[in-house]
């Protein structure tokens, strides 16, 4: 199943939240990695190669805003769902151009629903890319066969 190939990086300074989310995602068949702050998250991007980041906004060392700024500065595009206890997490998500948001405290089903939605989009994109490559390969093969004497 493709879910195990879909990697989620969980970035939160609260170990309980990191562990809870990692366990829930693993039970659903996803692969996850965790980081306690933006500095750890940036350091783990190359190794974890996440397809999605669940990102807390308020953290020590490097908060979620600075992490997103660093991603943008390095031209790294990864879907991000922000997690915030702010009065209006929707406006925070919009301001940061995040792909989704979760208001803390959140319901685990809400998290899984949003992850599943991003996974479905990722899976559809991956399928379209494979079909496109296949059609391109077929077109090249047909073109090459027409060139033969």
Residues whose CB is less than 8 angstroms from the CB of residue 28 and which lie 6 or more positions away in sequence, other chains included: 3, 112, 115, 116
Can you name the residues that pair with 100 across neighbouring β-strands? Answer: 81
* Domains of the chain by residue range: 2-147
Domain 2-147: assigned CATH number: 3.40.50.2300
pLDDT at position 144, please? 44
Highest mean pLDDT among 20-24, 61-65, 84-88, 90-94: 20-24
- pLDDT reading at 121 higher than 90: no
Q: How does DSSP assign 16-82, residue by residue? A: HHHHHHHHHHHHTT-EEEEESSHHHHHHHHHHH--SEEEEESS-SSS-HHHHHHHHHHTT----EEE
Residues whose CB is less than 8 angstroms from the CB of residue 103 and which lie 6 or more positions away in sequence, other chains included: 84, 85, 89
pLDDT at position 127, please? 54
> What is the percent of the chain where pLDDT is above 70?
79
Top-confidence residue, 30 or 135:
30
Q: How far is CA 100 from CA 8, 20, 38, 149, in A?
A: 14, 19, 18, 56
pLDDT tens for 38-56 read 999 999 998 999 999 999 9
* Averaged pLDDT for residues 105-117: 91
Top-confidence residue, 28 or 138:
28
Q: Which residue has the tokens 């031209």?
A: 75
- pLDDT reading at 133 higher than 70: no
> What single-letter DSSP state applies at residue 7?
E
Q: Compute the mean pLDDT over every residue in the chain, rounded to the nearest whole number.
A: 83
Helix-helix angle 108-147:15-27, to 10 degrees: 50
* Averaged pLDDT for residues 105-119: 91
149 by DSSP, 3-state: which? coil
């Amino acid at each position: 199943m493709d879910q195990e190939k879909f990697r989620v990086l969980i970035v939160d300074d609260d170990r309980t939240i990191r562990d809870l989310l990692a366990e829930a995602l693993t039970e659903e068949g996803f692969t996850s990695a965790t980081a306690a702050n933006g500095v750890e998250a940036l350091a783990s991007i190359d190794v974890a190669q996440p397809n999605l980041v669940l990102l807390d906004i308020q953290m020590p060392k490097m908060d979620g805003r600075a992490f997103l700024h660093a991603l943008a500065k390095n031209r790294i595009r990864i879907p991000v769902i922000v997690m915030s206890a702010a009065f209006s997490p929707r406006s925070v998500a919009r301001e940061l151009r995040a792909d989704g948001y979760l208001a803390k405290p959140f319901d685990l089903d809400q998290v899984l629903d949003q992850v599943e939605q991003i996974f479905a989009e990722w899976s559809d994109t991956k399928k379209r890319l494979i079909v496109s490559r296949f059609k391109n390969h077929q077109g090249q093969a047909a073109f090459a066969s027409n060139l033969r004497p």
